A and B are shown apart, each in its own frame.
Chain A
């Protein structure tokens, strides 16, 4: 069974930093593209970033470029999202998801809430 478990969310002040983690199991993590998708309270889904299986290619939505960094550690079967210079508008539930260019987001974690507020 595929499992994706996010952690690291919480309350942070504007301008602060936070790192989300996602531990994967039940599939070959090292062969899978991975992604972060967020959802602001009461709003729709927004693709944030994805990374290829080898970790050599990263893609970001314009609004987080230069502030967020996606990375992965195959020894720990884990995906990360380093979030710097956080803004109030970054407040959202962040989902870790297994991703395929053709297959879309096939498996999702339960989400981790990030609240940016003073």
Chain B
């Protein structure tokens, strides 16, 4: 049950777009459409941003979008804002009927 691979950090200026990748295997990300993304501000609980690869829960701004190609899922934040500065984690269902999170990406707004 190895963690999914994410870049340690991604940065961008306000208004720009950034993309965070999440790489797994055919036994997790590539094999199922059960990929979700979470935002976590320091000292706070995580917040669901995307589920089932591309779906946004109500209340999540449409600046957040996601996709998947093969064994890699991606989260894109368009029109980056100061409040988007946080840690982001992906997660996937696995063939072992378990779940695995990504290593986490720190997003910095320059």
Contact = CB atoms under 8 A, between A and B. Distances in A.
A85 B48 CA distance: 32
9 nearest interchain CB pairs? A104-B36, A108-B45, A44-B104, A47-B99, A104-B51, A45-B101, A103-B51, A45-B89, A106-B48
Interface residues of B, number: 24
A60 B97 CA distance: 9
Contact of B1 (A62, A104, A105, A111): A62
Contacts, number: 61
Contact of A104 (B3, B48, B100): B48
A106 B57 contact: yes
B98 A108 contact: no
Given A44-B89, A45-B89, A104-B91, A61 B46 contact: no
B66 to A, nearest CB: 12
Interface in A71-107: 95, 100-106
B1, B52, B98, B99 pick with most chain A CB within 10 angstroms: B99
25 contacts: A37-B101, A44-B3, A44-B89, A44-B101, A45-B38, A45-B40, A45-B104, A47-B91, A47-B100, A59-B98, A61-B98, A62-B1, A100-B51, A101-B93, A102-B34, A103-B36, A103-B52, A104-B38, A104-B51, A104-B91, A105-B36, A105-B38, A106-B51, A108-B46, A111-B45
Contacts of A104: 34, 36, 38, 48, 51-52, 91
B67 to A, nearest CB: 16
A62 B104 CA distance: 21
Given A104-B51, A106-B57, A47 B34 contact: no
Contacts of A108: 45-47
Nearest to B36: A104
